[in-house]
Amino acid sequence: MQTPHRIRVFTAHIDPNVPTSHEQPISLAFPPFSSGQWSISYVPAQPKNKLYQPSAVKLRWNNCNDTTTPSVRLAVEADGAVHTLVEQLSRSYGCRGEWILLVGRPSKPFKVVLEVEKPKEPVSATERCMTMIDAPQAIDVCLTFPGDSRTLFASSAMLAAVSPWWSAYLSTTGFYEDTISVSHTPAEPAWPDSDCSDDDDDDDDEETRLGVKASVAPDSPPPSPPLRTRPLIPRNMRVVPISGTSYRTFRAFLAWTYAGTVHFAPLTSSFLSASSSSSSNTTSATKRRRQALAPLSSLHPSRPTPVSPKSLYRLAHFLDIPSLQSLALSALAERLTVEGVAAELFARPALGEAYDEVLDYEVDFARENWEEVKVSRAMKEASRRMKVDANPYEVETLLRLLDVQDEGDEEV
């Protein structure tokens, strides 16, 4: 059973009679599990000199370079019994190791649970700033989001100082008593990692707080802000409905504005598997990404949800903030993988189709790793699709990639 001071971060279901379930990867977006490869393995009992040999469940890790040392509980619920192992992950284990938990000889499917002790750490500057953003304290701008009852609060002076776009906008629009300000950013495409498509994950309820689906914000806000389901907003606040950008992206932007820090989410393409079938690979990758991020809201409830580098890059570009734009672009580049870069280049829609510097980073990465990229499942799927239906952007991008084959490399 999960204790109050521990957070369940991973659950695996293993069937002793189904070998394909005996090895299950752990994909989590926080340390130490975000470094290296982690997995849960089931080792069936093996007869040895006619002696009783129990089965074992192993927590394994490889190439882990993180030095975080949380207290971890590994538990197995099998045949009505609970087997547990509680230890501190120590630096002495090194970058490769395993825990072994003996579990008898289970005959039926059983559950493996991994729990992490909730961190005991002082309130950070980011968390202090988030309390200002989430409540109207000495600030004069209220940001609302069509199709979402949540609001954000900010200082107009802070916004104007950080963004030329906000400076011009705030100096030319009226206050709530006179007019309703409308901050219209271009509608964000439904990228696999878009915060617009992820915003529903911030709450267990898949319906939005206004009772309608809001996977993508509408291009235009409603005639008046939907305030009836929101907390009372002081009349001296400037109310700015934000359309085209998600609550999650703007919350991360405000956290960066106040504290100078931002936490980026992994790309969906980084969870693509070379062994999955083409029909299920993208769906499985999206599911694994959401599972990797899910424990963070319980481990660090006061912190902003990790933001998509794509969504924050787009917003920083629109708001004309080069430093934040560069930060998001670097995060995007760091998260590219040889298995997933083709999915980034040839997604529909693709971020590189709208922003040249993103395309340059992705093409350079693909060229540097071309021998592996050209045989990746994502590249093969894109090639098959483009033989039938390729748009001009895809043709141009493919030609840029194939320039590396002047010395006789094999074509895709």
275: how many CB neighbours lie within 10 A of its CB? 6
State yes or no: pLDDT of 88 exceeds 50. Answer: yes
| Residue 139, pLDDT score | 80
295: how many CB neighbours lie within 10 A of its CB? 20
Top-confidence residue, 84 or 258? 84
Strand partners, 41: 23, 58
pLDDT category, 243, cuts 50, 70, 90?
confident
pLDDT category, 343, cuts 50, 70, 90?
very high
Using one digit for the tens of pLDDT, what is the confidence trace for 269-300? 888 866 555 545 667 888 888 889 889 888 88
Which runs of E-coded beta strand occur in 155-309? 183-184, 238-243
Strand partners, 113: 11, 75
- Helix/strand/coil for 99: strand
Model pTM score: 0.73
- Helix/strand/coil for 85: strand
- Sheet containing strand 81-88, edge to edge, reads 6-14, 110-117, 71-78, 81-88
Structural domains of the chain ordered from first start: 6-117 (2.60.210), 125-259 (3.30.710), 268-407 (no CATH)
**Cis preceding-peptide flag for 136 (omega within 30 of 0):** no
SS3 assignment for 167-188: HHHHHHCCCCCCCCCCEECCCC
pLDDT category, 187, cuts 50, 70, 90?
low
- Helix/strand/coil for 97: strand
| Residue 305, pLDDT score | 87
29, 55, 91: which is closest to 289 by C-alpha? 29
pLDDT category, 70, cuts 50, 70, 90?
confident
401 DSSP assignment: H
User: Any idea of the CA torsion for 285, 287, 290, 294, to the nearest 10 degrees?
Assistant: -130
CB 364 within 8 A of CB 344: no
pLDDT category, 203, cuts 50, 70, 90?
very low
State yes or no: pLDDT of 168 exceeds 70. Answer: yes
Top-confidence residue, 172 or 104? 104
The rounded percent of the chain whose pLDDT value lies above 70 is 75
167, 159, 137, 352: which is closest to 250 by C-alpha? 159
